[in-house]
């Protein structure tokens, strides 16, 4: 079809899509949905009573009453109480724990081993701590030299 042109025929209007009003409508709907979503979110808070700092006192700190029990590779136990370390036999652990629990108001025990201690001995010591009705027990996970 030689000579055909793309000019509109006179008398007929060609349809055009106007994009600017369409963008305005989309932004209006977007703004409406954003405002609607923000009105749904209710911000609630709970009152919190934060601790108040107190000035330090001049009294010396209380002496640490924690017992440290260390199990060695040979099955011996090291009893450390108030910075005094004693080598004790595993059979002496039970009476010492019972005596300690009866003398101290809040008994605490730190259980530790050296790097080659037997697992069964450590469990036996933990069982004796439980039998002595000591509730505050910590197990140290870092390796210490024997007897320290």
Nearest 5 degrees, angle CA 135-CA 62-CA 142?
55
CB 128 within 8 A of CB 94: yes
* pLDDT tens digits, 84-139: 888 988 888 889 999 988 888 889 999 888 888 888 888 888 898 888 888 888 88
What domains lie within the chain, and their CATH numbers?
66-139 (3.30.420.270)
Sheet strand arrangement including 66-71: 84-88, 77-81, 66-71, 108-113, 136-139
Residue position matching structure tokens 């910590």 = 138
If one compares 109 and 61, the residue with the highest pLDDT of the two is 109
Residue 34 carries which DSSP code?
A: H
* pLDDT tens digits, 29-51: 999 999 888 877 776 777 888 88
């Amino acid at each position: 079809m030689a000579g055909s042109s793309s000019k509109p025929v006179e008398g007929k209007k060609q349809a055009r899509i106007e994009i600017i009003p369409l963008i305005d409508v989309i932004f209006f709907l977007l703004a409406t949905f954003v405002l609607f979503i923000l009105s749904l979110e209710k911000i609630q808070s709970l009152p919190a009573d934060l601790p108040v700092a107190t000035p330090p006192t001049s009294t010396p700190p209380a002496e640490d009453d924690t017992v440290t029990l260390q199990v060695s590779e040979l099955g011996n136990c090291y009893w450390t109480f108030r910075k005094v370390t004693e080598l004790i036999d595993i059979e002496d652990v039970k009476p010492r724990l019972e005596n300690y629990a009866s003398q101290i108001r809040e008994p605490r025990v730190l259980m530790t081993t050296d790097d080659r201690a037997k697992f069964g001995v450590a469990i036996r010591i933990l069982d004796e701590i439980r039998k002595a009705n000591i509730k505050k027990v910590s197990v140290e996970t870092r390796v210490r030299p024997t007897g320290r």
